[in-house]
Chains A and B, each alone.
Chain A
Amino acid sequence: MGKTALVVSGGGAKGAFAVGAVDFMVNTLHLSFDLYAGTSTGALITGCLAAGKLPELVTYYQNASTDTMLTQRAAGKILSSDSVLGSGPLRKALEGIIDQAAADLVLSGTTPVFLTAVNLQTSELFYFHTMDGAAIERPVRGHRLSTRDQLIGAMLASASVPVMMPPVQVLAKAFDPDFPPLPAGSPRAGIVPDQFVDGGVREYAPLKVVIDQGATDIYAIILSPLTRARRNETFTKLLGILPRTIDALTEDVAENDVEVANRTNLLLAKVAKIRSDLIAAGADPVLVENVFTSAGTPFNGKALINLRVIVPETPLLDGDSLQFDTFDMARMMNAGRRRAKAVL
């Protein structure tokens, strides 16, 4: 039987939209999930959900202001620092929410969670996860989380927008592809621990990873509209062009991620059609079945995906998604609930 997964994309403060939607899905519609995956703010949300901390998550986002998440640094310090902003308050808040009992629940893998991050040393996409025997194929890397510190580190790393927020050393040692255990005398022993940043650099909405784990019912919350909105203005300032360019890149990554699920569905439908056509044309059904279920056949054992995308119809914020304003957060939470109600 297929699994039900919740996927939440990145989006900084726009994560409030996802929290509102999830609150409605869980508390009003009484939906439950077998699998979670999130990027950036989506990693914070799905990590807390896997820990059974929805009330704490709602309270945190509903009362968020910038200084409950980030700290500003003086200009003189930025040049010698690894980021423009500090993420100490966010880490401290996560440590408050994810206590040892909550971490143990997540790490048990009862409801697995996949948190995306990008390795600064290798530039590889990583899934920090809590699923034993997870199906993760190269070139993407996977690492099974085993401690509370790693879990909090992975959630924070996934949300750490590079340059704006500090990279995070999730693992005490350099990542070893054969982990566990780190073999004695490994050529990677003594290498500096890897630093991880926002997974949204490479994957905005981690749909593929939940499909690979057998999810067939997927609820995806995407925090930017998937339709291009024309901005009727002439961009004359660097500070206007830069965020617009980042928006375009983000929208492109988001569209590609959703397209993975759509194309998987198209191919699965095509494979099913070929099978039925062959049988209708007189081919031996047993032979057809054997051909399509033999080891190594693409999409073997995969079922059609029921993908429900909850996405805002218009952009949620005009400006910086690392500015957290409590009234804007509430507005976006309300919009998320409203959108979830309309879609579901």
Chain B
Amino acid sequence: MAYLYNQRWQILLEFFEQKRMTRSIQENWLKQYDSIEEVFAKLPQSQFEKFPLISSDEKGKIRVITLLDPDYPKLLKQIDNPPVFLYLLGNNLSYNEDLTLSIIGSRHPTPYGEKVTNLIVDYFSHPDITIISGMAIGIDSIAQKKALSNNLNSIAVLGSGPDVCYPKSELRLYQNLIEKGSIISEYPPGTEPKRYHFPMRNRIISGLAKQLIVTEAGRKSGTMLTAQAALEQGRDVYAIPGSIFMKESQGCHQLINDGAKIIMNLEEMSQISHEIINSLNNHELLIINLINQFRPDFDYLQKLTRLTASAILVTLGKLESLDLIKQKNGNYYLTTKGFHCIK
């Protein structure tokens, strides 16, 4: 049983609590045994069941995807040195690669960074979208937690073996990801995280996604390395600006200086998302095109589409509430987001 180190203490403490042992009894009970392994061997098995962590069964569930497999992510294939083996835990890699988004950032975010991260994930709450990150403390884990709570797909790329939860404090997220999302690593099961693993892992994070958003980053940080990798791979990199006095935003500003796109308000994020196109049906696309070309009045629209008045109202309402069109001065106009829907 590969229970995690700190998890074992929790199990032990819970055991004490259940037996209602006082401090002195606890001491005496512990003194009976020579080593800590012995102590855990003595604990009743039921105690462990509450914490279904990485059991040996879980190890068996790890799948290996090779570069030659058809379900190897196509975007990842395009980068310079793609990993030959991907160890996968959790759901299979069957997501829409056009709708992938990496969100990364500092391990010590400010409240501003946390807020922005949550807002971004909220903005992209669409069932088809996938949020990719590194499960690190800070922005990474915040983004992935929010993604899971919004019922989005999420993929974590680890710098250790897929069965090793690092950082350990994100254990709950790790479990949830196995259940609802997926965990990827290029390192074989059981590999401990090493310092030099992480720059390598970062190229996978940027390689998997079409777009990368950096919410907060110090000037010299791992995040910057990921962003550099993304730029080299030809991905779209977006950075959130902050205050010039905040050292957590210096990296973002550097990126903007280097050619990353700046996100100045939430509406600009619509440039990033192509998600809406997929949820539109033919009538809606037709109406968008008509509005773009003729700016027709209601009667004319009805004549051209041959729909009932009620159906047109429904369509207009849907498009307007999706921010694709906007009613102004008695006419409908396309928004920037709407223009992206015209193919």
**A and B are interacting partners:** no
